[in-house]
Amino acid sequence: MASSIRVRAVESGGVTSLKALVRHPMDSGFVKDSAGNVIPANFIKALTVSHKGKDVFVAHWGPAVSKDPFLEFRFKGAQKGDEVTISWIDNTGESDSTTATIA
C-alpha cells in the first residue's frame, strides 16, 4: 500500500524547509452521511517529524483539523542527504510513516 504521506524537504543556508500532505479523512464525528447516519470520528491524534532520532516537530491534532491536512515548517541542523521520518497515529489506532531524503 502506498503511503498516505507525501513529503518534500529541502535544505538551503542551514535551514531545512519541509512540506507534507497527509491523506486522511479527519472526520469529526459530528457529520452525517447522505442516509442521515453519523460518520464516526476518525482523526489524526499525533503527528511527529524526526531527524536523526530526535523529534523536530510534534503536533497533537483533533477533529477540528480539515481533511487531508497540509503541513509546512522549517528547522535547523539538517544537511542535504539526511533523512527525516514523518509518522502519525489516529484515534482508531491506524498509523502510517514515511521517510524522505533532504534535497
CATH assignment of the domain containing 72? 2.60.40.10
Longest dimension (CA), the chain: 54
For the segment 46-72, what is each residue's pLDDT rounded down to a tens digit? 999 999 999 999 999 999 999 999 999
Q: How confident is the model at residue 2 (pLDDT cuts 50, 70, 90)?
A: confident
How many domains, the chain? 1
Pick from 29, 16, 15: nearest CA to 7: 16
Q: How far is CA 50 from CA 11, 39, 83, 88, in A?
A: 15, 32, 9, 12
The pTM for the full model equals: 0.91
Domain that holds residue 65: 5-101
Q: How confident is the model at residue 1 (pLDDT cuts 50, 70, 90)?
A: low
Say what percent of the chain tops pLDDT 70.
99
